[in-house]
Amino acid sequence: MVEGRDLGASGPKLRYGLIGGGAGSFIAAVHRAGIDMTRAADIVAGCFSRDAEKNREMGEKLGIAEDRVYPSYADMAKAEAARPDGIDFVVITTPNATHYEISKAFLEAGIHVACDKPLCFEVEEGLDLERTARAKNLLFMVTYVYTGYPLARHARELIRSGALGDIRVVIAEYAQDWLADEVDSKQGVWRTDPKQSGISCCVGDIGTHIENMVHFVTGLEIDKISATLSTFVKGRALDDNALITLKYKNGAVGHYWPSQVATGRENGLGFRIFGTEGSLEWYQEKPAEMRYVKKGQPPVTLTCGGPNLSPAALRWTRMPSGHPEGLFAAWANIYEAFCNSIKNNMDGKPQDEFEIFPTALDGARGVKFVHDCVRSSKSDSAWVDGTAPVV
């Protein structure tokens, strides 16, 4: 049995600000909870809503000084950059259409950025954010949160060690049913609106999580993509289901299924990875268990905090074995890695090998993936070049 670990930052706390996250926001509260678990940073500023009264109310609710509740992100970036006690990083939780311009403004102001996915609308925008962050020696995290699970990190280390041999087949899915019918919730409306979500709903919203997770775990590079995007709900402007076939540059093949109309499925992100020497199977809804089969041997169930896990997994295990670690812990893990890396950046120290998090380049990969899927689908599922962008 592995004892619980007192994760959480030590030393002076960082200061952060939040863009978005007004009344009715789901994801901003999750960001805040994850950061709170790290003990690494306090929220001290924000621009939560374009509605002045709602903006003021949220600032008051979070205990933020009145003069640090800003009417716009531009005002906030300028003012916080000028303060001796200004924010160290900003968290962006607004709809997709605004990610690029807000991220760019804070980078230009010399402030580290954490941004929701998908990162932006265009690949070049994502690459520009990566280049800008590098040029200014700033860190940029795209919150692909599921990579924060300890067993996802163990899968990465197993594959990197050669335990599965050469990867041959990848099957991954992310199935939900919350958009199986017409919706009028705030979350549903903006995600299905091309003006706010861009060229895709389903692939952009959850298909990018599949792409990021598979790349994070396997390191495989996509060669070609054939995709069929469907819109099943009448009157909807964007896709709500996709079937995606892939060829990887190492010769492996894959199939991704993101769906938001999969009746009876809640938040079913998972993968099955098959190599010449073994296989792995993991599902986000049961994140503390992973099925591992070494060729010629019986299946083994690996557990979070259990024996024989890699240092990369144990580094981020917060609870003793047998105590399920949930989504908030995954959020805390990526934010703790981000905050610790910011502190090392400030001190001129190198980044710790275990403190990894998705970057703007990962975000640009996701944007390219979305464009490739849409392009293939519009061409009767023709194969298209799926090569990832590089800076």
| Average pLDDT estimate for 301-311 | 90
**3-class DSSP assignment, residue 362:** helix
Q: How confident is the model over 129-182, as pLDDT tens digits?
A: 999 999 999 999 999 999 999 999 999 999 999 999 999 999 999 999 999 999
- Return the pLDDT at 65: 98
Q: How confident is the model over 16-61, as pLDDT tens digits?
A: 999 999 887 889 999 999 999 999 999 999 999 999 999 999 999 9
* pLDDT higher than 90, residue 324: no
- Return the pLDDT at 7: 61
Q: CA 378 to CA 266: how far, in whole Å?
A: 28
**Where in the chain are the domains?**
149-314+359-385
* pLDDT higher than 50, residue 291: yes
CATH no. of 149-314+359-385? 3.30.360.10
Query: 51 Cβ partners below 8 Å, 6+ apart?
Result: 22
At 2, the pLDDT band (50, 70, 90 cuts) reads: very low
Amino acid code (one letter) for 74: A
Q: CA 167 to CA 252: how far, in whole Å?
A: 6
* pLDDT higher than 70, residue 344: yes
Are 296 and 305 in contact by the 8 Å Cβ rule? The answer is no
Are 151 and 282 in contact by the 8 Å Cβ rule? The answer is yes
Residue with tokens 């905050």: 339
Query: 123 Cβ partners below 8 Å, 6+ apart?
Result: 364, 367, 368, 371, 389
- The pTM score is 0.94
- Return the pLDDT at 170: 99
Q: How confident is the model over 193-249, as pLDDT tens digits?
A: 999 999 999 999 999 999 999 999 999 999 999 999 999 999 999 999 999 999 999
Q: How confident is the model over 83-93, as pLDDT tens digits?
A: 999 999 999 99
Query: 208 Cβ partners below 8 Å, 6+ apart?
Result: 117, 118, 144, 366, 369, 370
- Return the pLDDT at 5: 57
Q: Which of 170, 374, 366, 385 has its CA nearest to residue 279?
A: 170
**How would you write 115-151 as a 3-class SS string?**
ECCCCCCCHHHHHHHHHHHHHCCCCEEECCHHHHCHH
- Return the pLDDT at 3: 52
